Amino acid sequence: MVTNAVRYGSRPGDAVHVVIDADESRTRVEVMDHSRRRPRRRRNAAPGTHGRGLLLLDVLSARWGVDARPLGKAVWAEVRR
């Protein structure tokens, strides 16, 4: 999520913010960047090292989403403990 925020959601000099919150049942990671462009899932990601970020979120997290922010967006994911 952080790599995608840096690579696709920011420009040089932009800040990327990471918030981690945990309780007894789950851990939530939220990554905020300055882009309003929402991430898109690629149906047929080519073999290699790109295009599978949202697929990984689907597989590894209990749930995830994208929230609009005043200065961009936040992509978040929760994993169960």
What does the pLDDT look like over 56-72, one tens digit per residue? 899 999 999 999 999 99
Report the alpha-carbon distance of residue 44 to residue 46 in Å, rounded. 6
Q: What is the pTM of this model?
A: 0.87
Q: Into how many domains does the chain fold?
A: 1
CA 42 to CA 72: how far, in whole Å?
22
pLDDT per residue over 11-35, tens digit each?
898 999 999 999 999 999 999 999 9
Question: Domain containing 57: what range?
Answer: 2-80
Spatial distance between the Cα atoms of 62 and 28, rounded to a whole number of angstroms: 10
